[in-house]
């Protein structure tokens, strides 16, 4: 009896999933190397100025944002500005054991440092229902013009975004927009993209 006949062959779906996984790994390496060469501080300031008056953000009263790592665009000054304007601004807390994010009111004086180098609400902070969110600013390694996003691989933001009906804005640099991000059915596409050059609506997206 041939030992080959005892082995399970890859199905077409398995092969496609493996190809997508490998393609994502390659794009993550490229994106990190490209990002390391960019003037993120200058781009962050330009991006904050753009988002401050961007149409998608103007009418949203409940906004989900993020606090950056040292390698991401920093939109923190914009969050304080929005709070002063009366918007309710929220950020996430990461729960690695459960592979999920919870949503909390942004309180700059009540944060703790995550081991990966970004600030987040403490474990005892009261969480809110993501269903109240009207707008979400979502970081990523790179995006394409269809709004597909390449994150870090754990799927945290994708799972969170299924719990709300918020407009989404992918936050990135112009140099990190690529022709097509490899994606799967569980990946959530953005409605808009924002770079240091401006805000654009994603096309070929079913709304």
Number of C-beta neighbours around residue 139 at 10 A: 21
Domain assignment present for residue 109? The answer is: yes
Domain that residue 163 falls in: 11-201
Domain assignment present for residue 183? The answer is: yes
What Å distances lie between residue 204 and 21, 155, 179, CA to CA?
23, 22, 13
Please state the pTM of the whole predicted model.
0.87
pLDDT at 183: 86
Q: pLDDT tens digits for 114-145?
A: 887 789 999 999 999 999 999 999 999 999 99
The answer to whether residues 101 and 114 touch, using CB atoms and an 8 Å cutoff, is: no
What CATH number did the domain enclosing 93 receive?
A: 3.40.50.10420
Domain assignment present for residue 207? The answer is: no
Domain assignment present for residue 56? The answer is: yes
Under-50 pLDDT residues of the chain: 1-13, 205-207
């Amino acid at each position: 009896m041939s030992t080959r006949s005892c082995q399970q062959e890859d199905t077409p779906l398995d092969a496609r999933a493996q190809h997508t996984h490998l393609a994502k790994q390659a794009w993550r390496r490229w994106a990190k190397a490209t990002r390391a060469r960019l003037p993120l501080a200058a781009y962050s300031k330009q991006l904050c100025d753009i988002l401050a008056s961007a149409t998608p953000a103007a009418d949203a009263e409940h906004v989900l944002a993020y606090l950056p790592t040292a390698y991401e665009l920093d939109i923190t000054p914009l969050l304080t500005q929005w709070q002063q304007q009366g918007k309710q601004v929220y950020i996430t807390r990461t729960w690695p054991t459960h592979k999920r994010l919870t949503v909390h009111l942004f309180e700059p004086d009540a944060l703790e440092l995550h081991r990966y180098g970004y600030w987040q609400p403490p474990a005892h902070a009261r969480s809110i229902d993501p269903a109240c969110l009207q707008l979400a600013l979502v970081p990523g390694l790179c995006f394409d013009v269809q709004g597909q996003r390449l994150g870090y691989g754990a799927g945290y933001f994708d799972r969170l975004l299924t719990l709300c009906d918020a407009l989404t804005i992918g936050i990135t640099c112009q140099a990190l927009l690529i022709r097509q991000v490899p994606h799967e059915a569980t990946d959530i596409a953005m409605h808009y993209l924002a770079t240091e050059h401006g805000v654009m609506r994603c096309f070929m997206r079913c709304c």
